[in-house]
Amino acid sequence: MDVQKIPAREGNHNLKNYEKMREQFSWEDMKKNFSWNETGKVNMAYEAIDRHAENPEKKDKTALLYSSPDREEKLTFSDLSKQSNQFANVLKKYDVKKGDRVFLFMPRSPEFYAAFFGILKTGAIAGPLFEAFMEQAVRDRLQDSEATVLITTPDLLYRVPQEDLPSLEKIILVGENNESGEQYIDYHEEMKSASEDFAIEWLDLEDGMLLHYTSGSTGKPKGVYHVHNAMIQHYATGEWVLDLEEDDVYWCTADPGWVTGTSYGIFAPWLHGVTNVVRGGRFTPDDWYGTIEKFKVTVWYTAPTALRKLVSAGEEAVKRHDLSSLRHIMSVGEPLNPEVVTWGLKAFDLRIHDTWWMTETGAQLIVNIPSMEIRPGSMGKPIPGVEASIVDNEGNELPPNQMGNLAIKEGWPAMMRAVWKRPEKFESYFINGWYVSGDSAYKDEDGYFWFQGRLDDVINTSGERVGPFEVESKLIEHPAVAEAGVIGKPHPERGEIIKAFITLNDGYEESDDLLEEIRQFVKTGLSAHAAPREMEIRDSIPKTRSGKIMRRLLKSWELGLPTGDTSTLEE
Ligand code: PRX
């Protein structure tokens, strides 16, 4: 097959010679960019916010440009520094200490960012939860992490099952509320009287910073644990991949409930001291373009699912806006279709740079950068300091063009340091010195990596990872459902959609109303993005003799593919 090649563009001064940089690079050298290289004591909140607030030339620069349908606000680095100090004082008053888990469950807002950095300043571990989570999802994450404090809004409170959360001591409510009771704290009341000075908790590089829950194919979501050390890689990729420069206006569309929204919606841009646009609410193509136009966004990080919607909206929509500020576009989260890259070149006269990484990897690993030729459909090449390869199931490297497990040599700075309370789960990621991603891919002769699919049953719908087991567990809680098997089914805009196969308990009759009721049950119990878009009732669900649901078989049937080895199928 002929591979299309889009030539490199100007920019990205440090990575002009990618190959040479790879040879000479060491993470040790990278540390020299940070003040803590001498003191050894560190805090992400200092590096991302306070350092700029202490700089007379930077303190009044806009750090946060917040915009949602009903609110617009600007915060300077100095504002964010003071407000996060105030919030850290509030937490301290209620006894929050280093290592405690403090969770945030609220929409993006200026308060979110002040609270987020306030948490880090106390040395506590921040756990951001996606605002669309329903009760079950919130319960699982707060129970597993044993969070002691939660920051949320009064209208999300009904999804917090307090009676099931013995560790949860305080709930800080942002917004007007009528709750009474000792456990409730009013954010705005407390902030009024809190001091703007706070003695930041100085930490070691390996101290905990963040817990992000993510889905696997079996069991409940796992708490992926990240440490302050990750900043080295957030900073490096902010320079090489985001191509950030002093005057950039940067916009990352991801919610901080997902890792892209923290690593690249918070850390990378602010470590570089650039103006960061945060846009709340849902988007349509005109909102996306309108936001770029209004704030003169220069660097934009988004996802294939959004880009595909832009392609559907056509070049007409592009022409309705002045997008001349835009100079750099990136994508992450699922495969970026080559057609989208080709379309982007025509519609924006810009290359769209795919980037590959995961919640577990903490930062970008395989990327396209400005000074690199782009081959549409390829995720690009590993960043300097990172060795990537394709390995077999024993962790042996495979030759070019052979499909296998996409794997990374252990030891990059942003790598997760643990799966919360599950050491055996953490260990299971590593084989023979390689972190094995669970993605299948191949590498071509020129070192470009090409994504092929997931090796497990994890579903990637609109760029969000959904564990089939979690959905199946919710489905069988419904009284009508006896058994359930859940798969991802390819979909042109969403990447995959969730399809559920169910069997009914005696006494229930198949009907559209019943199926819709079951769908709503998952939607309101777990989260909207986990609700099956398609459902099918079957007489039985295929299982192995050991009782495992054979999702692969369901998928083959659904897609009309060969069923492969079915020797373990239960009679
Ligand atoms: O399957 C890969 C897919 O998303 C998974 C990681 O999901 P999550 O932990 O939610 O993190 C998403 C954002 C960092 C991967 O295992 N994925 C991510 N980026 C790409 C991708 N698939 C294809 N191409 C990509 N660029």
Give per-residue pLDDT as tens, 253-281.
Answer: 999 999 999 999 999 999 999 999 999 87
CA distance 237 to 196: 32
Residue 219: per-residue pLDDT: 82
End-to-end C-alpha distance for the chain, whole angstroms: 43
ipTM topping 0.90? yes
**Angstrom distances, CA of residue 43 to CA of 39, 203, 433:** 12, 6, 29
Q: Strand 418-419 to strand 222-227: parallel, antiparallel, or no bridges (unpaired)?
A: antiparallel
pLDDT of residue 564: 77
State in Å: Cα 368 to ligand 1 middle. Answer: 15
Assess whether the C-beta atom of 379 lies below 6 angstroms from ligand 1: yes
Pairing label, strands 328-331, 352-356: parallel
Q: How far apart are CA 102 and CA 63, in angstroms?
A: 24
pLDDT for the residue numbered 90: 98
Residue 231 pLDDT exceeds 60: yes
pLDDT in the model for residue 220 = 86
Phi, psi of 38 (to 5 degrees): -90, -45
Query: Who wins on pLDDT, 552 or 444?
Result: 444
> How far is it, in rounded angstroms, from Cα 6 to Cα 388?
23
Q: Could you give the percent of the chain with pLDDT greater than 70?
A: 99
**Residue 432 — φ and ψ, nearest 5°?**
55, 40
| Residue 435 bridge partners (DSSP) | 408, 430
Cβ atoms of residues 19 and 6 within 8 Å: no
Is the CB of 253 within 6 Å of ligand 1?
no
More confident residue, 469 or 544: 469
Give the integer Cα–Cα distance in Å for 162 and 524: 18
Query: Is 357 near ligand 1, meaning CB less than 6 Å away?
Result: yes
Location of structure tokens 């499909």: 403
Residue 208 parent element (H or E): strand 208-214
State how far the Cα of 289 lies from the Cα of 322, in Å rounded to an integer: 8
SS3 call for 131: coil
Ligand 1, atom 18: nearest CA belongs to which residue?
A: 333
- The reported pLDDT for the residue numbered 180 is 87
Residue whose CA is at the smallest distance from ligand 1 atom 22: 334
Measured from the Cα of 336, ligand 1's closest atom is 24
Question: Is residue 212 in contact with ligand 1, taking CB distance under 6 Å?
Answer: no
| CB-count exposure of residue 512 (10 Å: 0-12, 13-18, 19+) | exposed
Q: How confident is the model at residue 565 (pLDDT cuts 50, 70, 90)?
A: confident
Q: Atom 15 of ligand 1 has which residue's CA nearest to it?
A: 358
Cβ–Cβ < 8 Å for 126, 210: yes
- Where helices occur in 174-303 by DSSP H, the ranges are 187-193, 231-240, 259, 268-271, 285-295
Q: What span, in angstroms and rounded, lies between the C-alpha atoms of 274 and 51?
A: 13
**Residue whose C-alpha is closest to residue 280's, from 70, 60, 525, 463:** 70
Cα of 463 vs centre of ligand 1, distance in Å, is 7
Q: From ligand 1's centre to the CA of 466, what distance in Å? A: 12
439 pocket-lining for ligand 1 (C-beta < 6 Å) = yes
Task: Identify the band that residue 493 occupies on the pLDDT scale cut at 50, 70 and 90.
Answer: confident
Q: Is 222's C-beta closer than 6 angstroms to any atom of ligand 1?
A: no
Cα 309 to Cα 287: distance, rounded to the nearest angstrom? 12
Contact (Cβ atoms closer than 8 angstroms) between residue 408 and residue 437: yes
**Which atom of ligand 1 approaches the CA of 364 most closely?**
14
pTM across the whole model:
0.94
Q: How many residues does the chain have?
A: 571
- pLDDT higher than threshold 90 for residue 177: no
Q: How far is the CA of 333 from the centre of ligand 1 (A)?
A: 4
Substitution site in 214, 224, 357, 429 for ligand 1 pocket (most atoms within 8 Å of beta carbon): 357
Ligand 1, atom nearest to 438 Cα: 16
pLDDT in tens, 76-100: 999 999 999 999 999 999 999 999 9
Over residues 343-357, the mean pLDDT reads: 97
Q: How far apart are CA 503 and CA 537, in angstroms?
A: 6
Radius of gyration of the chain (CA): 24
570: pLDDT strictly greater than 80:
no
Strand partners of residue 208: 227
Distance CA 428, CA 92 (A): 37
Tell me, using a 6 A CB cutoff, whether residue 368 lines ligand 1: no
Q: Which of 143, 194, 201 is nearest to 172 (CA)?
A: 194
Rounded distance from Cα 232 to ligand 1 centre (Å): 21
**Residue 499 β-bridge partners:** 487, 534
465 lines ligand 1 (CB under 6 A): yes
The pair phi, psi for residue 113, each rounded to 5°, is -70, -40
Measured by CA distance, the residue closest to atom 12 of ligand 1 is 333
Which residue's alpha carbon is at the smallest distance from atom 8 of ligand 1?
Answer: 358
The first and second tokens of residue 104, run together, are: 């945030």
> Ligand 1 within 6 A of 254 CB?
no
Measured CA distances, 191 to 71, 160, 181, 186, 187 (Å): 20, 23, 19, 9, 6
> Which tokens belong to 552?
């692969």
Mean pLDDT of 220-231: 96
Q: Indicate if ligand 1 lies below 6 Å from the C-beta of 310.
A: no
- What average pLDDT does this structure show over 147-167? 97
Beta strands 434-443; 404-409: pairing state: antiparallel
Q: What is the mean pLDDT of residues 327-343?
A: 95
Spatial distance between the Cα atoms of 239 and 242, rounded to a whole number of angstroms:
6
Q: Is the CB of 377 under 6 A from ligand 1?
A: no
Question: 179: which 2 tokens?
Answer: 């709750």
Single out the residue of 400, 363, 356, 32 nearest to residue 230, CA to CA: 363
Q: Is 268 in the pocket of ligand 1 (CB under 6 A)?
A: no
Backbone angles phi, psi at 352, to 5 degrees: -100, 125
Pocket perturbation via mutation, ligand 1, pick of 367, 439, 456 by most ligand atoms within 8 A of CB: 439
**Cα–Cα dist 216/222, whole Å:** 7
Query: Which of 83-97, 441-455, 543-557 shows the lowest mean pLDDT across its residues?
Result: 543-557
Distance 194 CA to ligand 1 centre (A): 41
Spacing of C-alpha 168 from chain mean position: 25
Cα–ligand 1 centroid distance for 268 (angstroms): 18
Decide: helix, strand or coil at residue 145: helix
Q: Tens digit of pLDDT for each residue in 498-524?
A: 999 999 999 999 999 999 999 999 999
- pLDDT tens string 362-397: 999 999 999 999 999 999 999 999 999 999 999 999
305 Cβ closer than 6 Å to some ligand 1 atom: no
pLDDT at residue 563, as a whole number: 81
How far apart CA 136 and CA 550 sit, in angstroms, is: 25
Average pLDDT over the chain reads 95
Ligand 1 pocket residue status of 455, Cβ below 6 Å? no
Ligand 1 midpoint to CA 441 (Å): 12
- What Å distances lie between residue 255 and 76, 79, 245, CA to CA? 21, 22, 23
Beta carbon of 454 within 6 Å of any ligand 1 atom: yes
> Which residue matches tokens 């080295």?
232
- Categorize the per-residue pLDDT at 12 as very low, low, confident or very high, splitting at 50, 70 and 90: low
Is the CB of residue 472 below 6 angstroms from any atom belonging to ligand 1?
Answer: no
CA 114 – CA 434 distance, rounded (Å):
37
pLDDT band, residue 19 (cuts 50/70/90): confident
Maximum separation of any 2 CA atoms in the chain, in Å: 74
When pLDDT is averaged across residues 564-569 and rounded to a whole number, the result is 74
User: Is 571's pLDDT higher than 60?
Assistant: no
Report residue 16's pLDDT band, with 50, 70 and 90 as the boundaries.
confident
Give the number of other Cβ atoms within 10 Å of residue 192's Cβ: 9
Which residue has its alpha carbon closest to ligand 1 atom 4? 333
CA of 334 to the centre of ligand 1 (A): 5
Q: How far is the CA of 235 from the centre of ligand 1 (A)?
A: 20
Decide if pLDDT at 324 tops 80: yes
Q: pLDDT exceeding 90 applies to what percent of the chain? A: 87
